[in-house]
Amino acid sequence: MDKKIREPLFHLVKRDNLPRSKRVLIRMGAIVLALLLCALLTALTTGINPIEVFGSIVSGAFGSTRKMWITFQDLSVLLLISLALTPAFTMRFWNIGGEGQVLVGGLATAACMICLEGKVPSAVIIILSVISSVLAGALWGFIPAVCKARWNTNETLMTLMMNYIATQLVSFFIIVWEVPKGSGKIGIINQNSHAGWMPSLFGSKYMLCIAVSLAVMIFLYIYLRYSKHGYEIQVVGESENTARYVGIKVSKVIIRTMLLSGALCGLAGLLLVGSINHTITTTIAGGQGFTAVLVSWMAKFNPFTMIFSAFLIIFMKRGAGEIATTFGLNQSFADILTGMILFFIIGCEFFINYRIKRSEKHESKGEEAC
């Protein structure tokens, strides 16, 4: 053959198992690079010195005791939603309907608070809102799960549509309950009686969310790691055929896992309405249902690592929010920075999974390695 075969200079080889320390190092490197780029971008748009940018970000997140508590509270809510989505992701069920599941949970809480005020004691309202929000979230997870299990319906799009149905449902009830009529919003529910407001824990109104999300984190770690259910979820995630072969009922696992996932999202809705905002709007979840997907993925579905990834997102969000406010810029600045960090983290996975190898020169035209 006299046609010259051009060989590529490099080729990729899959890596088996990179030591943990190296994996962490690569990810940290990516985050540092991303932060540097963010600082550069901020410096270009606002004209402040790049080192000051980090100062502003830190002071935005931790500048005062109140800011710090709010940072931790936001962190715990995002962590809770990410945790809620994790069991579904572990079995490769792309539940991007966290937003809707949180919303219906919040709606159920608001319904209990509004309809039962003055009729039953506050403690009963709280118990009923816990039950109803968990059930509502579970229902929102159940519908796509059944369709997936029975007809293999595309769960990504289905959960997405469920989000919008939930949003419209909330805006319907907002108009039904609006105070005063015609204002298009509800305002603080039970402002005077505080009926149905979640109690504060350890003397701080922020502690409840933090405690709940930590409890859920430990529960999920044990559930996914050491229980039979968790094992079944892992097997279904790896291969549905294998799962079927070893006698796991795949449809049952899908439905059960999504019930859990939806219920935990509903719990997040309960906290958002009952403990943090005491009102409901269509944007109360604030896109965290989508962010949570990324948080959960960044942590490689490990509940404990999720604290760090959620912290990174919240930290940047609060910090960039501070910069945006100071310079009269739009709050979406945070989304741009978050997006850039995510791109770096997504990109760096490549260096963990693959090795770039210099191709050796083939002298003989023997069989092509494949």
Partner 1 sequence: MLGFLSFIPRAVGQGIPLLFGCTGEIVTEKSGNLNLGIPGVMYVGAISGVIGSFFYENSLNGRPLNGFLAITIPLLCSLLGSFLMGMLYCFLTVTLRANQNVTGLAMTTFGVGFGNFFGGSLIKLSNLDVPTIALSKTSAFFSATLPFASKAGWFGQIFLSYGFLAYLGIATALVVAFILKKTRIGLHLRAVGESPTTADAAGINVTKYKYVSTVAGCMIAGLGGLYYVMDYASGVWSNDAFGDRGWLAIALVIFTIWKADIGILASVLFGGLYILYLYIPTGMAHMELKELYKMIPYIVTLVVLIITSMRNRREDQPPASLGLNYFREDR
Binding letters toward partner 1, positions 50-89, x by CB under 8 A: ----------------------------------------
Q: CA–CA separation, 312 vs 333, rounded Å?
A: 15
SS3 272: helix
Residue 344 CB, shortest distance to partner 1, in Å, is 10
- Least CB distance from residue 164 to partner 1, whole Å? 4
What residue spans of the chain are helical by DSSP H? 20-46, 50-62, 65-90, 98-115, 122-151, 155-177, 207-226, 228-238, 240-245, 250-270, 288-298, 305-326, 333-353
- And the tokens for 152? 């293999």
Stretch that binds partner 1, among 20-28, 167-175, 221-229, 243-251 (CB under 8 A): 167-175
Which positions from 11 through 40 interact with partner 1, judged by CB under 8 A?
12-14
Question: How deeply is 73 buried, as exposed, middle or buried, from its count of CB atoms within 10 A (0-12, 13-18, 19+)?
Answer: buried
354-358 and 10-14 strand pairing: antiparallel
Amino acid identity of 202?
F
Q: 103 to 142, contacts with partner 1 by CB under 8 A? A: none
Nearer to partner 1, 32 or 157 (CB): 157
How far apart are the C-alpha atoms of 91 and 89, rounded to whole Å?
A: 5
From 68-76, 130-138, 146-154, 261-269, span contacting partner 1 (CB under 8 A): 146-154
Nearer to partner 1, 216 or 294 (CB): 294
Looking at residue 157, its amino acid is: L
Q: Give the end-to-end CA distance of the chain in Å, rounded to a whole number.
A: 20
356 is an interface residue for partner 1 by CB under 8 A: no
Binding of residue 347 to partner 1 (CB under 8 A): yes
Residues 287-326 that bind partner 1 (CB under 8 A): 287, 290-291, 293-294, 297
Give the residue ranges of DSSP H helices in 189-227.
207-226
- H/E stretch holding 13 reads strand 10-14
CB of 196 to partner 1, least distance (A): 23
What mask of x and - would describe binding to partner 1 in positions 178 to 197, judged by CB under 8 A?
--------------------
Per-residue b or e along 337-354, where b marks 16 or more CB atoms closer than 10 Å to that residue's CB: bbebbbebbeebbebbee
Q: Does 328 bind partner 1 (CB under 8 A)?
A: yes
Among 115, 222, 350, 355, binds partner 1 (CB under 8 A): 350
Asked if 240 is part of the footprint of partner 1 (rule: CB under 8 A), the reply reads: no
Helix, coil or strand: residue 16:
coil
Binding site for partner 1 (CB under 8 A): 12-14, 45, 94, 96, 147, 151-154, 156-158, 160-162, 164-165, 168-169, 171-176, 287, 290-291, 293-294, 297, 328-336, 338-340, 342-343, 346-347, 349-350, 353-354, 370
